Amino acid sequence: MNYDYRRLKGKIKEKFGTQEAFAKAIGMGLSTINLKLNNNAEWSQEEMKATMIVLNEPITNIPAYFFIHLV
């Protein structure tokens, strides 16, 4: 199943400017982030939580960023 990460990508750009800066903030490599944002690797629960923390979003917003299906 593929997910729509446009909202997440937009928030990353808003808060960090680049995916590379975001990757560093959560302790991942840029290539790993790219795989995840392009539906080639899955996000773990801990990675989702870390993402919400660095984006200053409540944990309850995880579904809005990670579980919107591509149509």
State the pTM of this model: 0.94
Domain boundaries along the sequence of the chain: 6-66
pLDDT per position as a tens digit, 22-45? 999 999 999 999 999 999 999 999
User: Pick from 42, 41, 46, 38: which is nearest to 19 by CA?
Assistant: 38
Q: Which CATH class is domain 6-66?
A: mainly alpha
Cβ(55)–Cβ(1) below 8 Å: no
pLDDT of residue 1: 83
Q: List C-alpha distances in Å: 36 to 8, 43, 62.
A: 11, 6, 15
